[in-house]
């Protein structure tokens, strides 16, 4: 007699496949060009553009909170998906800049959207958070624990960035992106390839623990700090392997791809990855970083949203998503564009 027969335990019925049904974005109203930040970091518009590809970024105004931006992006994604908000039974928010240790922002986002008792939680996987959320949502739908999942990537990194830090002040920015996942007759989301390298925990981090901040004689915001060159090397070399594995596991090659949507960390990292995986010239590459900076968990959905808005991406295209950041954490998957 098997253990199942003895206990009568049942597992959720697997339901088949999932796909992305809709996408939404919220870009804060305030545009901050390089010229506005260079004096505080003894830099130049030319240096920033050449080293990172960033021309301007957006920083949120006080009313553009993590919750407000999440809800705005989610509403657009719900409308794009053509579902009723009430059909969503799970809300997954990826963020590192919701400033309450607890509770998570996801239940508040769900409540403002008018959802009734959905599962709602945040995930902390930094810049890789959105791709983690898509991986989790895909598995929830396939595993039968949810039918429609809202995945949000949202940040207000301007709150936790030191405007005088030469290594980060020009990089980090604010915004929100959202995607609705739902059931599908055929696979619309490839297997997630994800992992972490905790040996490099200190390469991108909050400078110090909150308790150390509060015990200090002059408490100050524990800003993000980053060892940029080490992150750059890691991302440029290691992430190409992850990208290749995501293609292999989805059963496709670069020749089947229409879009490459990497985390918008640095155009030079994007170029290095594209070269390493031998991306054909015809595959369109997301370059949202130029106007948006690095919005961490929001960067992949914002970048895909812009490609759709600009006509560079079309519904039905195959997109390779890949994101990486503090942890170090990473995740990648192939997605059919909604």
How many contiguous H segments (helices) and E segments (strands) does the chain have?
Answer: 11, 14
Helix (H, G, I), strand (E, B) or coil at 26: strand
Mark residues 297-326: x for contact with ligand COA by CB under 6 A, - for none. Answer: ----------------------------x-
CA end-to-end span of the chain, whole Å? 46
166 binds ligand COA (CB under 6 A): yes
228 binds ligand COA (CB under 6 A): yes
Q: Which of 34, 80, 98, 127 is catalytic?
A: 127
Selected range binding ligand COA among 57-65, 113-121, 131-139, 221-229, rule: CB under 6 A: 221-229
Helix (H, G, I), strand (E, B) or coil at 237: helix
Cα 122 from Cα 102, distance rounded (Å): 10
231 binds ligand COA (CB under 6 A): yes
Cα 4 from Cα 121, distance rounded (Å): 30
Cα 181 from Cα 22, distance rounded (Å): 7
Q: Which of 223, 263, 266, 267 is catalytic?
A: 263
Mark residues 122-161: x for contact with ligand COA by CB under 6 A, - for none. Answer: -----x----------------------------------
DSSP H helices, 95-227, are 106-112, 129-143, 210-215
Q: For ligand COA, which residue of 52, 95, 270, 292 counts as binding (CB under 6 A)?
A: 52
Selected range binding ligand COA among 76-84, 143-151, 229-237, 243-251, rule: CB under 6 A: 229-237
Selected range binding ligand COA among 28-36, 93-101, 115-123, 263-271, rule: CB under 6 A: 263-271
Q: Please tell me the number of Cα atoms within 13 Å of 41 on its side-chain side.
A: 21
127 labelled catalytic: yes
């Amino acid at each position: 007699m098997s253990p199942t027969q003895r206990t009568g335990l049942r597992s959720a019925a697997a339901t088949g496949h999932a796909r992305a049904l809709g996408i939404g974005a919220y870009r804060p109203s305030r545009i901050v060009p390089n010229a506005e930040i260079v004096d505080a970091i003894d830099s130049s518009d030319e240096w920033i553009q050449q080293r990172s590809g960033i021309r301007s970024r957006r920083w949120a105004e006080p009313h553009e909170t993590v919750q407000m931006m999440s809800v705005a992006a989610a509403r657009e994604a719900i409308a794009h998906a053509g579902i009723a908000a009430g059909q969503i039974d799970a809300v997954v928010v990826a963020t590192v800049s919701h400033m309450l240790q607890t509770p998570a922002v996801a239940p508040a986002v769900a409540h403002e959207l008018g959802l009734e008792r959905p599962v709602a939680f945040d995930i902390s996987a930094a810049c890789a958070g959105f791709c983690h959320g898509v991986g989790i949502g895909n598995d929830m739908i396939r595993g039968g624990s949810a039918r429609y999942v809202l995945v949000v990537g949202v940040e207000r990194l301007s709150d936790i960035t030191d405007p005088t830090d030469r290594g980060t002040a020009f990089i980090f920015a604010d915004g929100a992106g959202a995607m609705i996942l739902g059931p599908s007759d055929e696979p619309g989301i490839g297997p997630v390839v994800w992992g972490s390298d905790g040996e490099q925990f200190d390469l991108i981090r909050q400078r110090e623990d909150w308790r150390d901040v509060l015990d200090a004689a002059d408490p100050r915001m524990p800003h993000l700090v980053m060892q940029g060159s080490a992150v750059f090397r890691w991302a440029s070399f290691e992430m190409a392997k992850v990208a290749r594995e995501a293609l292999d596991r989805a059963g496709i090659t670069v020749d089947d791809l229409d879009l490459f949507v990497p985390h918008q960390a640095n155009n030079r990292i994007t170029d290095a990855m594209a070269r390493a995986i031998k991306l054909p010239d015809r595959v369109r590459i997301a370059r949202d970083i130029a106007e948006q900076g690095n919005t961490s968990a929001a960067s992949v959905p914002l970048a895909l949203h812009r490609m759709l808005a600009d006509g560079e991406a079309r519904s039905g295209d195959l997109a390779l998503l890949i994101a990486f950041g503090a942890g170090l954490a990473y995740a990648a998957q192939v997605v059919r564009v909604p």
